[in-house]
Structure 1
């Protein structure tokens, strides 16, 4: 049987079953890629709604039929129904990367070109043999993935930073003119959620640290988790939040945190690709926190104006909350906060003034490296000496390290709790549950 032109032929069961000359594998793949590319570029909004379970896949099916007809696509040796199924499968999956999405041992996937793919396991980058057919097939795949995030990828919007909630992965795509030689893709998989007891069993905190975290959750503490990329601060923050029983609002750019507390609201920023669209920043979400009737604000990570907004909440009667920040030490957490507050222009530029504000609004800094808590430091402002005081409670002394681990020993109860912590312990009637030496 010869070539069937579906633009001219009517769509019916008999026609679908008509036998024709078979396509080669490469020809079939090229046909699927062509139709998939058209579907993704024209209907990214529908794809996003289907993935979010707002509409059914049948809606996209009809759009695929329209594209086949409009583009006058010729098909040989395969029914229209088979083509539709292949396109739908291609649209809603991750092609050659799907097996790494499904592999729990893989943390991240990095594609530098159509034939240069790396995966990250146990903080080690491994190049894999998989590759896309060619650069054009790779670019079509990137357009599809951007649609998963509800974003448009084109020359005027060459960067996409979003989330595919169906798979719980963070997506970053960059194409020309930003990338010089080839498009790039980074897929960061959602971090595993572990209870604090598991972290204790793994030796990443001491028993004394564990007890202090539990105490902080009971008496209320305004805590900042600091660390470098991949240090484990987000995973640990998530474990800590499971102890919080107060009404909580979690505010993030990209959803990563999930608590067992049912009295929790989850909010995320929005970024529109059009002038008329809605843009809501982290700072906007934090400013709105007071209207949520919640007691415990959580900002996934502070990087800008949201830092001063969060501290403003801490300064107006909210004595508990949490966030994370990129930093190189407990003291550098303060330096990073000072930088962000200065950049906001809301508190002036005098370091001493900002340090006083931080000392009033932050209670505890937790610094992490390679998933281990290295420092637990209370901070407060000494008005007599006019300086910010770093008051270490527990620490891990590093004696060595390899690519994935730190080696050394914990030193606990370096000081009794500060006056701020002891006052809250007394107010909540928990003195009898605290070691005597920590209340001196």
Structure 2
């Protein structure tokens, strides 16, 4: 055991020396730091590593200089969607079935902070005592959120969301257990009949995955304009335009929020207008757009249940200066239904579909289809939803 530990310490020491040697070499040269320049620098270092050792060293050092450092091997698993660093010896990941502790370890807290600072800098922002909480998107599909002490009481925190280029078809999602065949038929009909909808659920429940797949069902002749804080939607469709919000620069200028992007999108002749995540004042522009002939649009929203969505919309509308009554009137004519997704021990699944109903002074989401322990149950909203989708209440 002691001999193995000594070998591990010696390997880490050699890596540190080699890393510093290669770092100085590649940074002293001209041009970008690429895997090939790193490999050449490893070979030129004179270390006798052998072919396999040289390849491993080049890969490790390239991850330290350009990638996610010690976390890079976790990205190779296509099932990993999130990585969390809570401490040097506490790294967690999510493959879709809940959080799992990883065997990856950092040597020191300083190493975690250094990685966080480098990733944030690569996104064009700064992580320091003046900006201790930063969120950036990086090339390669990574969305990085970092928090420094003393805001974090346990050390540097890293949360990394991985955007996979692969998009699942609606049939593949059903095969993976996200919903049954009856719900698939309803989801297809929702897109075909251009109902406006929101996908609700908690963080990591599969809202974006489902929304991407649904948008892929849109008619190829339609123009999809997607507005996101960080580009995550990637529907398989021939005509997709994506607008991404922009944070202010170090001087605080140049910011473009989602509300402004929605206004710009209305001038781009969208057939479907989608806000990737409604979480602020942009809900005003989205509801306005859905009330001006832009049917078949929608987005995602954080909510505990489908029935909680009207209250969430009122709270978000308040951020835009809208009264509860103004939000209720807008929602009544803008939104048709809510699709709620949740995560369980068996994975992510569509748990309910509900019709948005306006009953006098109150607004509710009436259950149409609900997944129960005994199977799929039809609720009081089913006859109305079936009629809108031309499915037949007894189908």
Q: TM-score, normalised by structure 1?
A: 0.73
Q: Structure 1 residues 151 and 34 mapped into 2: Cα distance closer, same or farther (>3 Å)?
A: farther
* 2:302 is equivalent to residue 315 of structure 1: no
Q: Structure 1 residues 39 and 134 mapped into 2: Cα distance closer, same or farther (>3 Å)?
A: farther
* 2:323 is equivalent to residue 367 of structure 1: no
After superposition, where does 1:164-183 map in structure 2 within 5 Å? 164-166=138-140, 168-183=141-156
The correspondence for 2:192, drawn from 218, 224, 235, is 218
Q: Structure 1 residues 387 and 418 mapped into 2: Cα distance closer, same or farther (>3 Å)?
A: farther
* 2:34 is equivalent to residue 59 of structure 1: no
Instruction: Provide Cα deviations, 1:148-175, integer angstroms capped at 9, x if missing partner.
Output: 3232222222222112222x22211111
Q: Paired residue for 2:39?
A: none
Q: Paired residue for 2:376?
A: 410
Q: Could you tell me how far 1:300 is from its partner in structure 2?
A: 0.9
Larger Rg: 1
Instruction: Provide Cα deviations, 1:174-199, integer angstroms capped at 9, x if missing partner.
Output: 11342234111111222563211122
Counterpart Cα distance in 2 of 1:273 and 1:217 = 39
What's the secondary structure of 1:140's corresponding residue?
helix
Q: Paired residue for 1:327?
A: 303
Q: Paired residue for 1:396?
A: 371
What's the secondary structure of 1:375's corresponding residue?
strand
Counterpart Cα distance in 1 of 2:253 and 2:195 = 37
Counterpart Cα distance in 2 of 1:323 and 1:85 = 39
Q: Structure 1 residues 315 and 268 mapped into 2: Cα distance closer, same or farther (>3 Å)?
A: same
Q: Could you tell me how far 1:92 is from its partner in structure 2?
A: 1.3
Counterpart Cα distance in 2 of 1:182 and 1:38 = 31
After superposition, where does 1:43-58 map in structure 2 within 5 Å? 58=30
What's the secondary structure of 2:205's corresponding residue?
coil
Contact 1:110/1:185 (<8 A) preserved: yes
What's the secondary structure of 1:437's corresponding residue?
coil
Instruction: Provide Cα deviations, 1:302-346, integer angstroms capped at 9, x if missing partner.
Output: 11101111001111121220211111111101110011112211x
Which consecutive residues of structure 2, in runs of 5 or more, have no partner in the other structure?
1-9, 35-44, 48-53
What's the secondary structure of 2:368's corresponding residue?
strand
Contact 1:226/1:365 (<8 A) preserved: yes
Q: Structure 1 residues 218 and 121 mapped into 2: Cα distance closer, same or farther (>3 Å)?
A: closer
Counterpart Cα distance in 2 of 1:39 and 1:144 = 16
Q: Structure 1 residues 138 and 30 mapped into 2: Cα distance closer, same or farther (>3 Å)?
A: farther
Instruction: Provide Cα deviations, 1:34-61, integer angstroms capped at 9, x if missing partner.
Output: 9859999xx9xxxxxxxxxxxxx94246
Aligned residues: 364
Which consecutive residues of structure 1, in runs of 5 or more, have no partner in the other structure?
1-22, 44-56, 63-75, 400-407, 426-433
